[in-house]
Structure 1
Amino acid sequence: MKKYVSIFLTAVLLFMLMVPGLSKANTSTVSAVIDSSLVKALETAVEPLQVIVTFEGEGAPTADHLNLLKQLGISTGITMKSLPISGILATKEQINKLAATPGIKSIYLNKRLTYSNFDANNLTGVDKARTDAAMQKANGGLPVTGKGIGVVVNDSGVDGTHPDLQFGSHLVQNVMGSTNLNAWSPDLLPITYVENVPNTDTNSGHGTHVAGTVGGTGAASGGKYEGVAPGADLIGYGSGAALFVLDGIGGFDYAITHQSQYNIRVITNSWGSSGDFDPNDPINIASKAAYDRGITVLFAAGNEGPGENTHNPYAKAPWVISVAAGEKDGSLADFSSRGTKGVGGTFEMDGKTWTWKDEPSVTAPGVDIISTRVLAPVSSLAITADAELIEPAYLPFYTSMSGTSMATPHVAGIVALLLEADPTLSPDEIKKVLQDSATNMPGYESWEVGTGYVNAYAALEGVMFDKNYGETINAYQTFNSNANVEVERSEFQVDYNPLLLSSNAYSFNVAEGVGQISARIDASGLIGQTGNPLNLILVAPDGTSYSSGVSLLFPLYYDRTVSVTSPQAGEWQVKVDGLHGDAANPVGVGLPETVHGTLAFSKVGSFSGLKDISGNPAASAIQMAVSERLIDGYADGSFKPKQYLTRSELARSLVMGTGIRQSQSVNVKDVSTGDLPFAKAVVTKGAAIRDGVQTQVGVMQLDASGNFNPSGEVDRAALAYSLVQALGLEKQAKDFTGDITVQYKDERIPVKDSASVPAALKGYVQLALDLNILNASFSVTQGPYDLVPKVEASFNPAKKVTRADYAVAITRYYQAWFQ
């Protein structure tokens, strides 16, 4: 699995330290990094290959670099103007020689690319909204672009020299802030704003990337990497990467002061801290003041996941929108910070009682997001990874990053679209429509992902056409069947001393049946402000270590978390260690400190609403399906495992647990009010979140008369269709030809009733068998004179599916979802 370093703010530089998917081939002769795709391609290469070469150094390839290529007989290709990269056509022999040449940093195959901003806008329905005829008509004949809505990018600054972020037109103002903390002055000096600065992002490129995601025009890529709201008016506020509290406050101060001048309605903040929520924190005071003036405030949830209690405290304020980071397949990114289940509270402020919860609001795309690269000074951010993701011609202008820093501006852009559609919307109304229209995310709870994956199209449909959403959101439901997960927490402390290694540990016991343990510490330093480069380690009874790692931004992020799923029972240890610069040095670099921490033990204690499953062979699958919100029982406390599954029940379960987008666009004739939102969702084009471009047909279908037949019983062939379609595998299913086969031991055997499977569903049945979502039935026959028995397989496509059958299938689907 990919590993990500925290890029919250200036940590984008850390992407140069960890680039996944690289390999060294024949390390005795190869000096350059060769990506795995190229290694595989070289095994069978006969014709020249298109490859991307990155040279050591910065700037465009030098004359020496170009001569090196010519000496190897390489004459076909292109070179970058600002980056040390060339795209070339080379033979296997030339590539091998090039790889062994000093000065070559890496060689990558120029394979077909996936464009993450392009994908992200499709995934969340932004592009669908722009091309929707009804929405264009409602918006005066033009697509919604965020036109006229002022969005403040409160970050490291913005490079207004970039073609996508032209200062003076699209970037209507670019400000460099200074806090003027001059201890030697006898007077208190006001904050200084230096306005009309073409480029304020001279130290990281983070803010430029964020601004491009909000509303870059895509001018340097022919519109390919257009931002979410390309018509919005961007206001950049740069303050040295917002490393200090006053810098962040300065952005809010500027937004409020100049709100009328630039119609500022949105402020996006891809930065934060760690610790508990404090409504009196000056950042929270500042965000509340902006909220009071009708400005929608967004904060990144943080990049300290996957442990609980890692949520950015500024994102916990009830008046802001907290954004978690999602993968492009609809799951949650490992690095995305989580809240804490059941934690929250109330407080009084400005004569009102506020309720806060320790959980994100929504999730948005935050992995491998391509957006604008700072041009001046020339940036080498993520240069090696970019060669895999971005066309060579666009590399000087775009770069890829991952983090909640990237997810947050995506939602900020959607907010601008909503405000263009209805400028009267308040911050509370905007937050509600985003949460109500989100897509359930299989396997996650609200303290991890909020209400789900953001859906811009549904949100705009709700605002523009008064459509009601939210009835299918898991976070809003009261379920009949529940897994009672018990979480016990205990506090501990370790008196860390770098000179006394044996004392830097705390022992605790893990009982049988514990599903997960999480440990968290705050390494805030002696004065609580400087941070301490300490590492948190959990040591299992068998000696296995699980480490938090130390962020190079430890002065900004004090918390360390480690989570272990299905831990061994027995005595564990929490160890606190310093940052080791040398394996030969047993003493870690860290300052003495009494480190306080919390241990959390999660265990499924019991189940309710499942009174009739005892003794059923599918009982464990039913329990898992209920615990992961893949199916629900009945109000009378029963599950009815032997009862046939109806189409209305299948629709509800699919929306609950397979990542199905909400929709109100299809007219369904024969479904009752309570089941209607679920039926509409499953039959709509682009229903599955795994269908990133939203072009595939629904995961269930209406008949020729537009009826859903809610009380109809589901058969195995129909179930195969729904579950495979929900995985976004329509093309693979339709491309299948021939008869259905199934794996049996070391051979594939034909399914004898393949002919009875409807032709349109054969590919779906084949994939369901191959993915082990559904199984075949095997029988063994042997005639009196047969030397070996004959094995036969059947699928039984017309056999009705019981609720227990579905529980087994959906738990297998759940495993396929995360493969």
Structure 2
Amino acid sequence: MRKILCALLTMTLLLSISLSSNYFVKASSQVILDDQLQEVLFTESGPFEVIVTFNATGAPTNNQMQLLKDLGIKIGTTMKSLPMAGIVATKAQIEKLTESDEVFSIYLNKRLEYVNDISTAVTGVDKLRTDDQFRKQNGGLPVTGKGVGIVVNDSGVDGTHKDIEYGRNLVQNVLGTTNLSSITGIVPVSYTEGVINTDTNSGHGTHVAGTVGGTGAMSAGKHEGVAPGADLIGYGSGGALLVLDSLGGFDYAITHQEEYNIRIITNSWGSSGDFDPYDPVNIASKAAFDRGIVVLFAAGNEGPGENTHNPYAKAPWVISVAAGEKSGKLADFSSRGTKGVGGTFTLNGQEWTWEDRPTITAPGVDIISTKTVSPLTLLSADVDAAMIETAYLPYYTVMSGTSMATPHVAGIVALLLEANPLLSPSDVKELLQKTATNMPGYESWEVGAGYVNAYAAVDKAFSNRPYGETVNLYENFNSEVESETTQQDFSIDYNPVTLVSDNAHVFTVTEGLSSLVAKVNGEGILSQTGNSINLVLVAPDGTEYSSGISLLFPLYYDRTVSVNNPMPGTWKAELRGLRGEEINPTDGIALPEVVNGTLKFSRVSGYTGLDDIEGHEASEAIKMAVSERLLDGYQNGTFKPDQQLKRIELAKYLVMGAEIRQYLPENTTLLDVESHNVAYAEAVTARGAAFKDIRQVFDGVMKAKEDGTFASEDSVTRTELAYSLVQALGLQEEATSFSGVLTVQYGEERVVIKDADQIPTELKGYVQLALDLNILNAYFEITQGTYELTPTVYATFAPSQTVTRGDFAVAISRYYHAFLTQ
């Protein structure tokens, strides 16, 4: 995961300690160094990004700041309330700091990873549990899946784990015994009920069960499952699963449906090959469907290629679940269907239509859930230690796969069935798809309807509001673009003290490319601190295209440059370091590092519905944006690139291609919006609109007017567009905390924006980030007097300039590349 919590900016470890206390006064004269810092000091040459904690009760004192200056430390940032400074220091400087009585400790600025409570936050499960209206509709209690029976058809479940304790939320635990070699004669299927632990050689099923409905008892609720109120029924077949074993699980679910109110069976296993509706597993899943049981299957982990979809997940009566990252992207390993493939068949006299695609996408990368001791969980010990708090390590483990995404959706289904027990399996499948969040750059054969949205799904289960009007899966688009993309990997052994030509990769651009996208990862020390490198593409004629050095480089390691309609010939990808007064009035330099990168070359092979774009400067950006479903043309086959972008068009395109969650209130307050546009306007103005707003607490990605109207037909200014696109990246905190001078990268210097005073103070941070992330560009002017030895560069932003549809195509295509790297 590339977006991390940076200790330098979000140090929360000590928030529970009263700031008025004198906690940081050390008992001895020895300065504390953390183990990782000691390791890198021994193995690396530096410089190093570290956090210094001083002996103080508030912000660093003047004496402490002077200490840093006396040591020649010139890059750093200090906290406002905590006695801490994040600095870049050499080994010698760190050694000097350890000799000072002013210093309490020095720690490496290491990466802090997200944990599994993020999964339930990103899908809206946390939000719906605390929703007052939902509680009222649910008899005054939170929606937890209470009373809904879920069969976990897997390797088994360890009922000794307090999160899934046998006799409590694990109401039955069954050991399947379908080993034919141990059977004499033809006998009924047998199984042993009441087995406390049936997961003795895998751990897979225990992890799945915790995701579905673990109570989080061993982590004070932090690693709670999606539906902790549900009744779990484990059906374990051991580590080696055969078809007969899986059929035993379906058989048990149908046989005991009334006894345990079984409404769901989740299956995190599969096979390969073509879809066969008459396969016994598909027959069994259809039988469960006919009994009102919702059947879920993992899409498979054979991606990213086409035609890798689990054949059992293709049955039209089941829910197939793809694995997404918590950032909103599709996991590379997640199996894909096949574009345009499907068909019809008849089963028991009924005709069915199937499509080779997942139904929905859910979190499936680095999922923390319940652990049982097994060889499988022992293999992940290093990952567990890095991601899980020490106190919780005995009880939880990290796994990735569509196996982890599927039980997440199974838990959401339990919430839906508690909210509305009358929902049929078909109703549930349709409801999940109609409330999904569009995933930019992916088609339905890859991600289904999009990323699951538990909050909207439960809302629809209670209210049956008309969700689905904004889902791309159900849209008929006016414009179509066919394109092909190839990728090349490269690496540069970056050394800031050598010539630029030594820090470059040479490559060839062929005739007729529609776009070139270059990306590198400047990860820094131990892949944890970020590196202040600038990626520059140099065209054959010397024109430079720069990624710039974002002020957020410790948070976001990727640098991306996109060039539409690149000139054919020999290009160079150069790495340049931060120098001079580009962030602070100090002298700085990027760090040595082997930097890995990719080059993507796209070529448009054909398009329709864009009759008026040829020869326009934004034509290639328009084609790219249409091909990725980031925007659309008009019904009459035109795009009108020079026409002003309307606010309602911006709303539609943000929901279409910027991963904006659906939201439909009971009564809209935007009374000037036409009924067919209400879903778009409400989505973009709602709190927590952006998918990358993990906790769903930030403002919307567009703002209503001061009089409460939406003003659909009004134009959009460049400042407003900067706000919307940066807000859609989940960067509200970074944008609103900005208080410096507005600048833009030009070559190897930062140039002040001349018209910054025309930008409202509260929006300057959004403009700064839009410039730094290369979503929007500044306008440069170079002047030179008759006797001046060097020219002067001026930069403006034109904040009140209105945005055309062509302008937006360029901006949203750049946003798309920024989205993929955040």
1:298 is matched with which residue? 296
Shift of 1:706: 1.7
Code of the residue aligned with 1:194 in structure 2: it is T
Residue 458 of structure 1: aligned partner: 456
Task: Please say if residues 214 and 225 of structure 2, whose CA atoms lie closer than 8 Å, have aligned partners that are also in contact.
Answer: yes
How big is the shift at 1:212? 0.2
What code does the residue aligned with 1:121 have? T
Aligned to 2:121: 122
> What percentage of aligned pairs have identical amino acids?
63
| Residue of 764, 767, 788 corresponding to 1:765 | 767
Aligned partners of 2:377 and 2:397 also within 8 Å:
no
Pick closer, same or farther for the CA change 1:159–1:675 going to 2, 3 Å: same
Matched residues in 2 for 1:260 and 1:671: separation? Answer: 48
Instruction: Please report how far the alpha carbon of residue 422 of structure 1 lies from its aligned counterpart in structure 2 after TM superposition.
Output: 0.8
TM (norm. structure 1) is 0.73
Q: How far, CA to CA, are the matches of 1:292 and 1:181 in structure 2? A: 28
- Is contact 1:110–1:388 with CA below 8 Å preserved after alignment? no
Deviates more, 1:176-185 or 1:305-314: 176-185
Matched residues in 2 for 1:306 and 1:733: separation?
34
For 1:145, the equivalent position in structure 2 comes to 144
Which aligned pairs between 1:505-520 and structure 2 lie closer than 5 A? none
Deviation, structure 1 residue 485? 5.6
- Name the residue aligned to 1:245: 243
TM-superposed deviation, 1:639 = 0.4
2:364 is aligned, of 350, 363, 366, to 366
User: Conserved in 2, the CA contact under 8 Å of 1:484 and 1:608?
Assistant: no
Specify the alignment match of 1:531 in structure 2: none
Question: SS of 1:299's equivalent?
Answer: strand
> Relative to 1, partners in 2 of residues 1:455 and 1:41: Cα closer, same or farther, differing over 3 Å?
farther
Matches of 2:204 and 2:385, distance apart in 1: 19
Q: C-alpha distance in 2, partners of 1:381/1:773?
A: 42
**For residue 653 of structure 2, what is the aligned residue in structure 1?**
653
Partner of residue 168, structure 2: 169
Letter in 2 for 1:352: Q
Query: How far is 1:114 from its partner?
Result: 4.1
Equivalent in the alignment of 1:390: 388
Task: Tell me, yes or no, if the aligned pair for 1:109 and 1:388 is still in contact at 8 Å.
Answer: no
1:425 counterpart residue number: 423
The answer to whether the 8 Å contact 1:739/1:755 transfers is: no
Q: TM-score, structure 2 length as denominator?
A: 0.73
Q: Are positions 1:639 and 2:639 aligned together?
A: yes
Match of 1:157 in 2: 156
Give 3-state SS (helix, strand or coil) of 1:447's partner. helix
The DSSP-based 3-state class of the residue aligned with 1:472 is: coil
* Residues 215 and 514 of structure 1, relative CA distance in 2, 3 Å threshold: farther
1:783 shift after superposition: 2.4
Change (3 A) 1:39 1:317: farther
User: CA 1:514 to 1:445, structure 2 compared with 1: closer, same or farther past 3 Å?
Assistant: farther
Which whole-Å deviations, capped at 9, do the CAs of 1:399-453 have from their partners, x for residues lacking one? 1111000000000000000001111110000000000000000100000000000
Query: What's the offset of the Cα at 1:466?
Result: 2.1
Unaligned ranges ≥5, structure 2: 3-34, 55-90, 96-106, 486-509, 516-601
Aligned equivalent of 1:798: 800
Alpha-carbon distance in 1 for matches of 2:225, 2:283: 30
Output the CA distance in 2 between the equivalents of 1:112 and 1:294: 46
- CA–CA distance in structure 1, aligned partners of residues 258 and 464 of structure 2: 28
Q: Secondary structure at the match of 2:116?
A: helix
SS of residue paired to 2:800: coil
1:459-493 Cα distance to aligned partner (Å, 9 max, x none) = 01111122111100111111111114699xxxxxx
Give matches, 1:473-512, under 5 Å. Answer: 473-484=471-482
Distance 1:468 1:229 in 2: 25
> What residue identity is the alignment partner of 1:302?
G
Whether 1:734 aligns to 2:736 is yes
CA distance in 2, matches of 1:123, 1:152: 25
1:684 to 680, 683, 686: 686
Q: How does 1:210-229 map to 2 (within 5 A)?
A: 210-229=208-227
| Aligned residue runs from structure 1 range 538-557, under 5 A | none
Shift of residue 784, structure 1, vs aligned partner: 2.9
* Secondary structure of residue in 2 paired with 1:687: coil
Q: Indicate the residue corresponding to 1:609 in structure 2.
A: 609
Q: What letter matches 1:710 in structure 2?
A: S
- The amino acid of 1:610's aligned partner reads L
Report if aligned partners of 1:152, 1:235 keep a CA contact under 8 Å in 2: yes
Between 35-44 and 765-774, the greater mean CA deviation after superposition: 35-44
Local SS of the residue matching 2:384: helix
TM superposition shift of 1:514:
11
Aligned to 1:338: 336
Q: How does 1:23-38 map to 2 (within 5 A)?
A: none
Describe the superposition over 1:87-131 as per-residue Cα deviations: whole angstroms up to 9, x where unpaired.
xxxxx99xx9xxxxxxxxxxx989674443210111000010000
Distance 2:235 2:698 in 1: 41
Q: Tell me the distance in 1 between the aligned counterparts of 2:511 and 2:163.
A: 57
Q: After superposition, give the CA deviation of every residue in 1:580-615 in whole Å (9 maximum; x if it has no partner).
A: xxxxxxxxxxxxxxxxxxxxxx97431111111111
Q: Which stretch of structure 1 is more off in the superposition, 430-439 or 238-247?
A: 238-247
Q: Is the 8 A contact 1:304 1:336 kept in 2?
A: yes
What is the aligned counterpart of 1:276 among 274, 280, 290?
274
- The CA deviation at 1:674 is 1.6
Shift of 1:786: 2.5
Structure 1 counterpart SS, 2:676:
coil
Residues 16-59 of structure 1, C-alpha deviation per residue, up to 9 Å, x if partnerless?
Answer: xxxxxxxxxxxxxx99997999979994669899xxxxxxxxxx
Q: For residue 630 of structure 1, what is the amino acid of its counterpart?
A: L
State whether residues 155 and 205 of structure 2, in contact with CA within 8 Å, keep that contact through their aligned partners in structure 1. yes
The residue identity in structure 1 corresponding to 2:180 is: L
1:785 & 1:486 partners in 2: Cα distance? 52
How many Å separate the matches in 2 of 1:164 and 1:41? 45
Aligned length: 631
Distance 2:717 2:316 in 1: 46
* CA contact 1:180–1:192 (8 Å) conserved in 2: no
Amino acid at match of 1:145: T
Measure the CA separation in 2 of the matches of 1:368 and 1:414: 19
- 1:714 partner amino acid: V
The answer to whether the 8 A contact 1:741-1:749 is kept is yes
* Residues 121 and 184 of structure 1, relative CA distance in 2, 3 Å threshold: closer
- The question of whether the paired residues in 1 share the 8 Å contact of 2:753 and 2:797 is answered with yes
Change (3 A) 1:607 1:425: same
1:628 maps to amino acid: E
User: Aligned residue for 2:561?
Assistant: none
Partner Cα distance (1:409, 1:36) in 2: 44
Structure 1 residues 302 and 514, CA gap change in structure 2 (3 angstroms): farther
CA distance in 2, matches of 1:603, 1:649: 27
Matched position secondary structure for 2:292: coil
User: Partners of 2:51 and 2:662 in 1: how far apart?
Assistant: 49
Q: Could you say what secondary structure the match of 2:814 adopts?
A: helix
Gap change, CA 1:44 and 1:180, over 3 Å in 2: closer
Report the Cα distance in structure 1 between the residues aligned to 2:50 and 2:112, rounded to whole angstroms.
20
Distance across 2 between alignment mates of 1:696 and 1:259 = 43
What is the letter of the counterpart of residue 441 of structure 2?
G
Summarize the alignment of residues 188-227 of structure 1 with structure 2, pairs less than 5 Å apart: 188-227=186-225
Question: How far apart, CA to CA, are the structure 2 residues paired with 1:672 and 1:760?
Answer: 30
- Within 1, Cα distance between the matches of 2:124 and 2:285? 28
| Secondary structure class of the residue paired with 1:688 | coil
The SS at the match of 2:173 is: strand
Partner of residue 99, structure 1: none
Match of 1:311 in 2: 309
Give 1:749's match in structure 2, choosing from 748, 751, 768. Answer: 751
Name the stretch that deviates more: 807-816 or 375-384.
375-384
3-state SS of paired residue (1:674): helix
Asked whether the 8 Å contact 1:629–1:656 carries over to 2, the reply is yes
- Which residue does 1:468 correspond to in 2? 466
Distance 2:786 2:754 in 1: 22
Task: Give me the whole-angstrom Cα distance separating, in 1, the residues matched to 2:716 and 2:218.
Answer: 51
**1:382-404 deviations in Å (ceiling 9; x for gaps):** 11011111110000000111100
1:704 positional shift = 2.5
8 A contact 1:180–1:189 mirrored in 2: no
The DSSP-based 3-state class of the residue aligned with 1:719 is: helix
SS in 2 for 1:278: coil
1:809 aligns with: 811
Aligned to 1:494: none
Change (3 A) 1:177 1:364: same
